[in-house]
A and B are shown apart, each in its own frame.
Chain A
Amino acid sequence: MHGQILVALRAGIPADSSRAEARTGSRADFHDRYVALFDTHFTRLFRYFDRLSGEPDLAADIAQEAFIKLYERQEMPDRPEAWLISVAMNLFRNTRSTGARRRLLLTGQRGERVYSDPPPTPEQSVIGKESQARVRTVIDGMPERERELLLLQAEGYSYRDMADALDLNEASIGTLLARARQLFRAAYEEEP
């Protein structure tokens, strides 16, 4: 059975201790930063893995797991966004390489698709589905490195973060991105 949790309840925080107060203050600071980072970064992380895998539930699991791991650290890394994407990439690769069964965490109710405009007409829906399938095919058909880079760029990650997450030389990220873009365009135009 997966997802079982057996824990001892937390002990109380010692009172009248300056060290304890400092830790408590530090924890409060961490918590505030954690919440702020979640608000700005969670959706971005989810969207990246959603696009990468085409599996929204998997993307939700990975994004949540990365944030849980960050909270378990109780300490903010120097570059939190880079840390999150690197941890999440490792989780994603482990899932893919081991074929491990995914554990659904807190995946809430989710609509089928995001519409910022009025819902499409049936005719638009058909065209939309064809176009979605075409984009999906192009993404899936790209070489792994170029696909990951292109999708990270689309989420606005810095070259340094991309280099760290994908273990690449930062000095050549731009050249690789240009190549990724050309591959995407060529494949999209070839798709019927």
Chain B
Amino acid sequence: MNHLDVEQVERLLDGEIATAGDRSARVHVGECGDCRERVALAERQTEAIRNLLRQVDHEPPKVDARQLAAQARVRGGGWQKWAAGILLVIGSAGILYAAPGSPLRGWLAAAARWIGHAEVKAPSEESPSAPAPRSVSGIAVIPGDSLVILFEESQPEGRARITLTPGTEVTVRAPAGSATFTSQVSRLVIGNEGAASTYDIEIPLRAPRVEVLVKGERIFLKEGLDITIADTGVGTGPYLLPLTGRKP
């Protein structure tokens, strides 16, 4: 057999023996000192480069598969994104429709009259407190060793209703369209500018540490089994806390 070509040397080195030709190359190396030396040299060079490459390494991030799986679930697949979008639109439309003084009801009634259908009475004329559809948005995350739930703004209205559960995920729910939710490392940020909603927050009993902050000020802390709270509206659990950012 002829001496090994470059491709064969590399394949021998990397254990990429796939073809009969490669297998005969292995036999050849056993018999040919020159080719054996070429493979050994390539091996030494490869190892030397690997050692050099290690010099530029950084420590990998401290994440685990559960965190990424939770992130994927939160982000959702294609249909989930569509469903969330539709819920958001329906919820927003409902809120607009039911909002005091909303012109939407009048516009709809006028549009109905114009196209000749039976007159649609604006709910505000008979039932000024018609409820908005109960669409809910929210987020679920694995709390890990420590999780901070941060409300970006304080709210004069609305509360955080916190319940401890036997589950494994922290969930936050609010009426659709009233807030945005961002999951970051060890942090869940609720964009609540201008909102007046009450948020249902479920925290696993087993979560080691979960803290709720309002604009940087702590209103709730669960550390192991110890609970520190700013205010209790309704006794022990669920904790009904104002979102005005008072320190405990």
Cα distance, A131 to B180, chains bound together (Å) = 47
CB interface residues, A 46-64, toward B, < 8 Å:
46-47, 50-51, 54, 56, 59-60, 63-64
Interface pair B59/A111, CB less than 8 Å apart: yes
Interface pair B173/A5, CB less than 8 Å apart: no
Contact partner of B137 (CB less than 8 A), chosen from A6, A35, A54, is A6
**Which A residues touch B77, using CB under 8 A?**
72, 74
Cα distance, A38 to B42, chains bound together (Å) = 31
Cα distance, A112 to B59, chains bound together (Å) = 7
Return B146 CB to nearest CB of chain A, in Å. 11
Interface pair A154/B53, CB less than 8 Å apart: yes
**Which B residues touch A50, using CB under 8 A?**
56-58, 60
**Which A residues touch B181, using CB under 8 A?**
4-7
Interface pair B139/A7, CB less than 8 Å apart: yes
Q: How many residues of B contact A (CB 8 A)?
A: 57
CB interface residues, B 187-203, toward A, < 8 Å:
191
Closest chain A residue to B48, Cβ basis: A185
Closest chain B residue to A42, Cβ basis: B60
Interface pair A7/B75, CB less than 8 Å apart: yes
**Which B residues touch A131, using CB under 8 A?**
52, 55
Pick the most buried of A1, A42, A174: most chain B CB atoms within 10 A of its CB: A174
Cα distance, A59 to B138, chains bound together (Å) = 29
**B27-35, B79-87, B109-117: which lies at the A interface?**
B79-87
Interface pair B56/A178, CB less than 8 Å apart: no
Closest chain A residue to B15, Cβ basis: A158
Interface pair A7/B84, CB less than 8 Å apart: yes
Does B11 belong to the interface (CB within 8 Å)? yes
Does B124 belong to the interface (CB within 8 Å)? no
Interface pair B140/A9, CB less than 8 Å apart: yes
Bitwise, B48-69 to A at CB < 8 A (1) or not (0) is 0110110111111111111111
**Which B residues touch A172, using CB under 8 A?**
7
Contact partner of A51 (CB less than 8 A), chosen from B42, B53, B171, is B53
Does A106 belong to the interface (CB within 8 Å)? yes
**Which B residues touch A106, using CB under 8 A?**
61, 63, 67-68, 71, 184-185
Q: Given contacts A7-B74, A7-B75, A174-B14, are A135 and B84 in contact (CB under 8 A)?
A: no
Contact partner of A46 (CB less than 8 A), chosen from B50, B60, B72, B75, is B60
**Which B residues touch A184, using CB under 8 A?**
49
Interface pair A7/B138, CB less than 8 Å apart: yes
Interface pair A178/B62, CB less than 8 Å apart: no
Pick the most buried of B10, B56, B57: most chain A CB atoms within 10 A of its CB: B56
Q: Given contacts A34-B65, A68-B75, are A54 and B136 in contact (CB under 8 A)?
A: no
Does B16 belong to the interface (CB within 8 Å)? yes
Bitwise, A161-181 to B at CB < 8 A (1) or not (0) is 000000000011111011001
Return B62 CB to nearest CB of chain A, in Å. 4
Interface pair A181/B58, CB less than 8 Å apart: no
Does B76 belong to the interface (CB within 8 Å)? yes
**Which B residues touch A108, using CB under 8 A?**
61-63, 185-186
Return A111 CB to nearest CB of chain B, in Å. 5
Q: Given contacts A64-B61, A72-B72, are A7 and B7 in contact (CB under 8 A)?
A: no
Interface pair B56/A136, CB less than 8 Å apart: yes
Closest chain B residue to A60, Cβ basis: B61
**Which B residues touch A7, using CB under 8 A?**
74-76, 80, 84, 137-139, 181
Interface pair B65/A39, CB less than 8 Å apart: yes
Q: Which 3 A-B pairs have CB atoms at the shortest separation, nearest pair first?
A: A174-B10, A71-B72, A108-B62
Residue positions of B touching A, CB distance < 8 A: 6-11, 14, 16, 42, 45-46, 49-50, 52-53, 55-69, 71-77, 80, 83-84, 87-88, 136-140, 171, 173, 180-186, 191
Chosen A-B contacts, 15 in total, with CB atoms closer than 8 Å, are: A1-B191, A4-B191, A43-B60, A50-B56, A60-B61, A63-B60, A72-B72, A110-B61, A153-B46, A154-B53, A158-B16, A173-B10, A175-B7, A177-B14, A178-B6
Beyond A6-B137, A108-B185, A113-B58, 11 additional pairs, beta carbon < 8 A: A1-B191, A4-B180, A8-B136, A46-B61, A50-B56, A51-B57, A56-B58, A106-B68, A106-B184, A110-B58, A178-B9
